[in-house]
Amino acid sequence: MIPLDEARRFVLDGCVRSRSESLPLFDALGCVTTATVSAEGPVPPFANTAMDGFAVRAEDTIDAPVALRIAGTVRAGMSGLDNPVGVGEAVRIMTGAPVPPGADAIVMVELTEAGADDETVTVLQMVPVGNHIRPAGDDVLTGDEVLRPGIVLTPGHLGLLATVGATHVDVVRRPRVGVISTGDELVDDGSPLQPGQIRDSNRLTIRALVAESGFEAVDLGLVRDDEQAIADALLAGVETCDALVTTGGVSMGDFDFVKVVLDRIGDMRWMQIAIKPAKPLAFGTITRVSDGTKVPVFGLPGNPVSSMVSYELFCRPGLRKMAGFADAELDRPTVMAIADEPLKRKPDGKVHFARVRCWYDIDAGCYRVCSAGAQGSHHMAAMAAADALAELPDGPTIETGQAVRVRLLRP
């Protein structure tokens, strides 16, 4: 059997970062930047008020309370140039509006009283120069670097880009991932099961995992155990997708046709990895006929829990590398947790990934875990209930109170 770290290195070495593309800002959420973005002008572009109130000369408020003549109104979107503030004057102003010429402070409306004729306002408290004024360039100066390559774009980044006037951003292409299920025993049309049939959950589950990872999931269908049908589906998939994920047909059985086909049309490595579940894994490439690109292919086991664990350990980090994520960002977050009950296992030369519930114990100041349920590779109820995968090294049971490393599947 192959050690887990060796198998992961092989997969990651075969996953090459995708090309760069320019995307509209909203479409780039979660993508990794490939170019520096600098501000072409200051943000904010002009001095403006942070409050509703009155624009004044600070020196006119020294003897507050003081009555000032209202010389006009400036709303957001106005230039303010037509409403200069002279000695003994104030200009009514709304949040975000430009500070009019002559004014050097803002008095918030709560610190004023309106005159009886609405032509004067009484300032109740002295204010300093610059009070509640946001200067031009207070956030970003002309020429400031607002983004650099390698940033994973968040909503805040997109807002910043919009603020400096960008409409598009250069990012690593988001992988388009084709997903195929294989097997004569599978049905996916909701019809009553016939003897020997089971419902195909893998294709839906893997597509959901791909989408959750931030990539484009493409349904390439359910393919029967027929060599030509499998070959046709794979060859069509590599023409339109950046990576393929198959489930089933990668073990050593007489009817594991995916293995036969991938050996014929791809450059594959077949691995038996020292983990449980998800021991069998195929990884390699198929060359795209149209342009010669080598498209990564992940051949996952058919048992549903095994396919999900295999995705977490191999596909997700490989696809994230293709999407431009840094090495430290390839995996789910890991923490040390305390077993709240025994996590059973026997020595067998493998690392076990137990499906567990995980929570943070505020009183104890630590994470805790317990089993999410039955641990068979077909037990989807426990997988659905799991918050994390507990990494049980080869050896005896992890007893209550012992520490264990866990990969968090949910925040």
Let me know whether 181 and 316 are in one domain: yes
Shared-domain flag, residues 25 and 61: no
187 and 312 share one domain: yes
Q: Two tokens at 175?
A: 């992988």
319 with 201, same domain: the answer is yes
Q: Does residue 346 fall inside a structural domain?
A: yes
Q: Is residue 313 located within the same domain as residue 203?
A: yes
- Domain match, 10 and 27 both: no
What 3-state DSSP class applies to 342? coil
Q: Where are the beta strands (DSSP E) in 95-174?
A: 105-108, 112-114, 120-123, 133-134, 145-147, 168-172
Range list of β-strands (E), 340-408: 351-361, 366-371, 388-392, 403-408
Bridge partners (DSSP) of residue 265 are none
Peptide bond into 277 cis (omega under 30): yes
Kindly give, in sequence order, each residue whose CB lies less than 8 Å from that of residue 144, ignoring residues fewer than 6 positions away.
38, 39
* Gap between the Cα atoms of 173 and 161, Å rounded: 19
Question: Domain range spanning residue 373?
Answer: 334-408
Give me the pLDDT at residue 234, please. 96
DSSP tag of 328:
G
In 99-226, where does DSSP find H-type helix?
155-163, 202-212
Q: Among residues 74, 347, 312, which one has the least CA distance to residue 206?
A: 312
Token representation of residue 368? 């805790």
pTM to 2 decimal places: 0.89
Q: What pLDDT score does 118 carry?
A: 82
CB hemisphere CA count around 140 (13 angstroms): 21
Report the alpha-carbon distance of residue 126 to residue 139 in Å, rounded. 27
Bridge partners (DSSP) listed for residue 169 = 23
Per-residue pLDDT in tens (0 to 9) along the chain, 411 residues = 999 999 999 999 999 999 999 999 999 999 999 999 999 999 999 999 999 999 999 999 999 999 999 999 999 999 888 889 999 999 999 999 999 999 999 999 999 999 888 899 999 999 999 999 999 999 999 999 999 999 999 999 999 999 999 999 999 999 999 999 988 888 888 888 889 888 889 999 999 999 999 999 999 999 988 899 999 999 999 999 999 999 987 665 555 788 889 999 999 999 999 999 999 999 999 999 999 999 999 999 989 999 999 999 999 999 999 999 999 899 999 999 999 999 999 999 999 999 999 999 999 999 999 999 999 999 999 999 999 999 999 999 999 999 999 999 987
> What's the chain's Rg over C-alpha atoms?
31
Q: Please tell me whether residues 347 and 307 are part of one structural domain.
A: no
- The residues that bridge with 408 in the sheet, in sequence order, are 388
Q: Where are the alpha helices (DSSP H) in 213-356?
A: 227-240, 257-265, 304-310, 316-322
Q: What is the CATH number of the domain that holds 314?
A: 3.40.980.10
